[in-house]
Amino acid sequence: MKRIVRTWVLVVLIATGGTTLAQTPPAGSADTVEDIDRLQVILEQQRELKTDLDDGGIEGLTTRENNRVRKAQEQVFAVTEGKSRLDELSVDEKIELENALEQINAYVKNTRRAGDEQTVCWREKMSGTARRVTRCGTEAERREAREGARDWLERPKTCGQDCGGL
């Protein structure tokens, strides 16, 4: 539950602050205080997400996706190293930061729960024939069918006393 809350906070943070990263407020404006807080909030969110990654990854993401999030985070930390406010970043650095945050956001938002609702089609070989059929369903249904088949194959192959009912 804690990871889900962190994920949504990150999503909201990026959605509200990410589109304005490339805009630099005038020097001495009231936005400077907000920039300190916003950059610090972004960095704190990324540290919490990094902790989740170090504790076994983000639930619902593959190892490859977790590694891509790590790589994007390395960009975030490299761009913001030694900086305490967004206005200290050049335009190119702000663009690089925004792109890295968007990449992280894309992976974090596309967790298993969101993917489970997606409709997909796949080809299956019919048992005892060379025919292939197309089946459609949700990603969760496809995963359950795959896991069910794997469980059936991994069941014990020997027969005990009451072997008639499998």
In a domain, 161, yes or no: no
pLDDT band at residue 114, thresholds of 50, 70 and 90?
low
In a domain, 159, yes or no: no
* 47 and 122 together in one domain: no
* 77 and 105 together in one domain: yes
pLDDT digits 0-9 by tens, 15-54: 444 444 433 444 444 444 555 578 889 999 999 999 988 8
* 80 and 146 together in one domain: no
Which pLDDT belongs to residue 21? 45
* 75 and 134 together in one domain: no
* 82 and 17 together in one domain: yes
* 97 and 136 together in one domain: no
The pTM (predicted TM-score) of the whole model is 0.50
| Contact (Cβ atoms closer than 8 angstroms) between residue 68 and residue 57 | no
Backbone angles phi, psi at 129, to 5 degrees: -135, 175
* 41 and 106 together in one domain: yes
Where residue 12 sits, what CATH number does that domain have?
A: 1.20.120
Q: What is the DSSP string of the chain?
A: -HHHHHHHHHHHHHHHHGGGTTPPPPTTSTHHHHHHHHHHHHHHHHHHHHHHHHTT--TT--HHHHHHHHHHHHHHHHHHTT--SGGGS-HHHHHHHHHHHHHHHHHHHS-HHHHHTSEEEEEEEPTTSS-EEEEEEEHHHHHHHHHHHHHHHHS--S--S--TT-
Number of separate domains in the chain: 2
pLDDT digits 0-9 by tens, 125-149: 888 898 988 888 887 888 888 888 8
Rounded CA separation 61/122 (Å): 21
**Domain region containing 31:** 2-115
